[in-house]
Amino acid sequence: MRRITLPSGESIPVLGQGTWGWGEDPGRRGDEVAALHAGLELGMTLVDTAEMYADGGAEEVVGEALAGRRDEAFVVSKVRPSQASRSGTIAACERSLERLGTDRIDLYLLHWQGRYPLQDTVAAFQQLVADGKIRYWGVSNFDHLALADLRDVPGSSGLATNQVLYNLSRRGPEYDLLPWCTDHQLPVMAYSPIEQGRILHDATLNDVAAGHSVSPAAAALAWVLRRDSLCTIPKASSPQHVRDNATALEVELTREDLDALDRAFPPPSGPRRLEML
């Protein structure tokens, strides 16, 4: 498993597991737990969740799946902006810890910027680190201007990552955000790398996938993973889906592949507003 390095010096897998949509249907819970277990066996130990997903239900599934295996995973969760005051962030983290059945979250993110001052949220993150309840903190859905503002906040040197929407059909970050993160040595975590399946019927993507004897999803993941200092967290709802995602690690896209995908999914020619799902 290829890895990227966080500012702390700790490394995490480039390919992890997302849980958006987990915990919504009790009938799928067994498959969700089995999927996470399959990913752990494949080295996909980066596990992303959030208090917002199924109103905490996804965290509960992750907690069940990691029972007795907590040390195998690098767990990411997030605080809602509506909870992100100094005291609210701490309380939200404690609720997430309880649902996850753990004593620490490895990486705790502000899900997106809201009405509370960033200095209050960052102060809460620092307190949570000091108390051993989280190891690192970061943000999600921040454009390069918001990240620049964050650098002026006391304690912001602890920023570990920015998680953003990035895939073949959402290439806006390439124009300004990704270069900014590279310049400031800030790793990026890409969510929804296959656009929730909406890009998988594209003819060019299917042709590229066929050329490498992989699925369109694996080809789309390989395209995201072509970048250094970037990891991604696709959701998989079954062990077979997880195994399919893992084949992306074996794909090395050619210059011809990349040129064809550029024609099908043109890169940005100017700044775009950061998109969210």
Please list the pLDDT of the chain residue by residue as tens digits (277 residues): 999 999 999 999 999 999 999 999 999 999 999 999 999 999 999 999 999 999 999 999 999 999 999 999 999 999 999 999 999 999 999 999 999 999 999 999 999 999 999 999 999 999 999 999 999 999 999 999 999 999 999 999 999 999 999 999 999 999 999 999 999 999 999 999 999 999 999 999 999 999 999 999 999 999 999 999 999 999 998 999 999 999 999 999 999 999 999 999 999 999 999 999 9
pLDDT score for 237: 86
Cα(90)–Cα(28) distance, rounded to whole angstroms?
31
Q: For residue 109, tell me if it sits in a domain.
A: yes
Cα(211)–Cα(140) distance, rounded to whole angstroms?
34
Q: For residue 269, tell me if it sits in a domain.
A: no
Contact, 49 vs 77, CB < 8 A?
yes
pLDDT score for 54: 96
Q: For residue 276, tell me if it sits in a domain.
A: no
pLDDT score for 148: 96
Cα(142)–Cα(171) distance, rounded to whole angstroms?
15
Does the pTM surpass 0.85? The reply is yes
**In sequence order, which residues have a C-beta less than 8 Å from that of residue 231 and are 6 or more positions away?**
4, 12, 13, 14, 15, 16, 46, 187, 188, 189, 190
pLDDT score for 4: 97
Count Cβ neighbours within 10 Å for each residue of 68-93 and write b for 16 or more, e otherwise: eeeeebbbbbbbbbebbbbebbbebb
- 3-state DSSP helix/strand/coil % of the chain, to nearest 5: 45, 15, 35
Number of domains, the chain: 1
CATH code, domain with 98: 3.20.20.100
Which residue in this structure is represented by tokens 């959030």?
Answer: 50
With residue 138 as reference, give the H or E element that holds it: strand 134-140
Q: For residue 152, tell me if it sits in a domain.
A: yes
Q: For residue 272, tell me if it sits in a domain.
A: no
Contact, 108 vs 132, CB < 8 A?
no
Three-class DSSP category at 86? helix
pLDDT score for 213: 97
pLDDT score for 5: 97
**Residues catalogued as catalytic:** 53
Q: For residue 34, tell me if it sits in a domain.
A: yes
Q: For residue 54, tell me if it sits in a domain.
A: yes
Look up the domain containing 113 and give its range. Answer: 3-264
Q: For residue 61, tell me if it sits in a domain.
A: yes
241 is in an annotated binding site: no
